[in-house]
Structure 1
């Protein structure tokens, strides 16, 4: 691993809250982390806690060279709660390629309402060395 790999490579930037905030996820030197900031690139105050943010595993790749995709969907999920959908490697070893939906939280109370969903782990009948490239707007299509 060279010094290039040991940096934080931002792999996901998605608008949230009708574009007022941004969801960001980076490789964090092979330890994915995520955060939410205002769209003017300033940090949220501690009083604006966003549940489910911090650990970026299954939301963006460990490796900056890996193909991945993500889209933030604000409406149409169970309970009409917002969620990030991603396609990436969920392990450092790249053995667990996943299509993933984050836990769904009530954004007012911070309470988790629905658990995350993912493809079956280590099942090559679902995903066998896929190249995950991009979601499309409108009717969501994962390639």
Structure 2
């Protein structure tokens, strides 16, 4: 990290009471068996394009370096630390398949259950962003 420069890691410890709640009891599945949530970040004020590329490259290098040390079956993500690199949804004909790419990383086995809830509560998919849970196609 010293070699890279401005990149940071934040470790949020897991365990305790959090491990006792089943992954299926809430949308957030990252519980028992996870020691930490790791947040990768980099900040800069220089608006030059080469600076942006440099700092993003630093972050990617750190993320890649950490790969052997983190859970990767699958490598998961935390929704509140949104990462557009793991997938986005255009909400076209392939909405479910696009949503499943990032949805499984954020919600693991809870994704299909949340998909059904979203379809029932918001069938027109009014509340959406590029990584929100999609709705199932209507059967009409």
Report if TM-score (shorter chain) is over 0.5.
no
Q: Normalised by the size of structure 2, how large is the TM-score?
A: 0.26
Larger Rg: 2
Structure (1/2) with the larger strand percentage: 1
Q: Normalised by the size of structure 1, how large is the TM-score?
A: 0.26
Higher relative contact order (CA 8 A, sep 6+): 2
Structure (1/2) with the larger helix percentage: 2
